[in-house]
Amino acid sequence: MAVIPPKSPSTSESSASASAKSGADASCGADASSGAESVSARRSLVIRRISWVVGGMLALAVAVLLSLAVGARPIAPSVVFDAVLHGGTSDDAAVVRELRVPRTLIGLMVGVALALTGTVLQGITRNPIADPGILGISQGASVAVVLAMAFTGITALAGYVWFAFAGAAIASVAVYAIASRGRGGATPVKLALAGAAINALLLSVIMAVLTTRAAALEEFRFWQVGSLAGRELEMFYELSPFLILGMTLVASVARGLDALALGEDMAKGLGQNVARVRIVGGLGATVLTGTAVAAAGPVAFIGLAVPHIARAMVGSAHRWVLPMAALLGPVMLLVSDVIGRVLLPPGEIPAGVMTALIGVPFLVALVRRKAVPA
């Protein structure tokens, strides 16, 4: 009877060691493959984001050129460049410098301000339909300007810009204070309802003032719809410091907005001061709203639509969403303004009306997609 000798310990240990090494090699290979895929995905995302930002810059350049060249009096691009770069002396060049350059610069300012305001408000309230119009902030600025026109006789920008800031601040505080009462705090639905209530109240105040102060009605009638027409270059220079201040405040809370999107508890766990993010972001939104309303009146829907378009392009990280929104806001406003100039010649449809015509279908689509929280 043959006896099978047992395997030597050294042979068994050698086999186990080889098996373990093979498993370790396979695990290392999987980790390396996964790491390479992750790096490749991140690189692809960065390239896509940069591509969209470059595309937004090109779109903004085209929108600026259209704003300078297209209108009741079409002007060739060569004349536009001659007027802007070399100070051309022709009649068309004078139209570009004196009328269309101020109008375009104000459009750039208002578009940036409203787009950033909508982005930060949607971030700090976690409400996809938040914008300065829906939350009543624009209407608060409008009420303050109406009161200034009716009871102080102020008609110049230097006079009523401070009223616009004050009205926007009071309205934003009122909306948040109302929404914060009760169980659950300032939820997205409660903020939207509080904004609707404040909007209705402030609109009633405006109508009451205008029906008793006919002198202010004519001036307010054109300002209320939101328009870039008739603006002067001095207005751009006077409001630029406020635009820069608001942009700085909003940019400083970009990381906080990313954390807040994960939930308030998660944001606190990540070391974010949620109260600070909301206060600084809200202050920035108030300054930007006051700037936009003082310059062009309460232009609607830029703040609602643009942040969603920006997120669809570059993702949800606010360090990318904010710059992308700052590019797309002026594009939307300037293109709307150009369409309004040529749609019903020789008349002109105000830019605020055109942005509403574009924004209402967008809001309907947003609701149909059930993006609005229940």
Q: What is the pLDDT of residue 228?
A: 85
User: Which sequence spans correspond to the domains of the chain?
Assistant: 54-368
- Span of 41-45, 94-98, 179-183, 216-220 with lowest mean pLDDT: 216-220
How confident is the prediction for the chain on average, in pLDDT?
Answer: 82
Q: Cβ distance 149 to 160 under 8 Å?
A: yes
The token pair at 322 is 């904010």
Q: What is the pLDDT of residue 222?
A: 65
What confidence tens digit (pLDDT) does each residue in 10-29 have? 444 455 455 545 555 544 55
Output the CA torsion sign for 242, 249, 62, 357: negative
**What is the average per-residue pLDDT within 277-284?**
89
Q: Cβ distance 295 to 234 under 8 Å?
A: no
Please say if the pLDDT value at position 60 is more than 90: yes
Separation between Cα atoms, residue 329 and residue 332, nearest integer Å: 5
What confidence tens digit (pLDDT) does each residue in 234-247 have? 889 988 999 999 99
Buried b (16+ CB within 10 A) or exposed e, 190-208: bbbebbeebbebbeeebee
- N-terminal to C-terminal alpha carbon distance within the chain: 82
Residue 126 is given by DSSP the state T
Place of tokens 């829906």: 134
Q: What is the pLDDT of residue 33?
A: 56
Confidence of residue 62 (pLDDT cuts 50, 70, 90): very high
Output the CA torsion sign for 287, 141, 323, 121: positive
Output the CA torsion sign for 81, 86, 90, 93: positive
What is the three-class DSSP state of 74?
coil
| CATH label, 54-368, candidates 1.10.10.10, 1.10.3720.10, 1.10.150.130, 1.10.3470.10 | 1.10.3470.10
Q: What is the pLDDT of residue 226?
A: 77
The token pair at 236 is 């751009």
Q: What is the pLDDT of residue 300?
A: 81
Confidence of residue 372 (pLDDT cuts 50, 70, 90): very low
The residues near 92 (Cβ < 8 Å, ≥ 6 apart) are: 73, 75, 76, 79, 83
What confidence tens digit (pLDDT) does each residue in 113-161 have? 999 999 999 998 888 888 888 788 888 888 888 888 788 777 666 677 7
Q: What is the pLDDT of residue 86?
A: 82
Please say if the pLDDT value at position 196 is more than 50: yes
Q: What is the pLDDT of residue 152?
A: 79
Calculate Rg over the CA atoms of the chain: 28
CA distances from 281 to 87, 241, 253, 271 (A): 41, 17, 6, 17
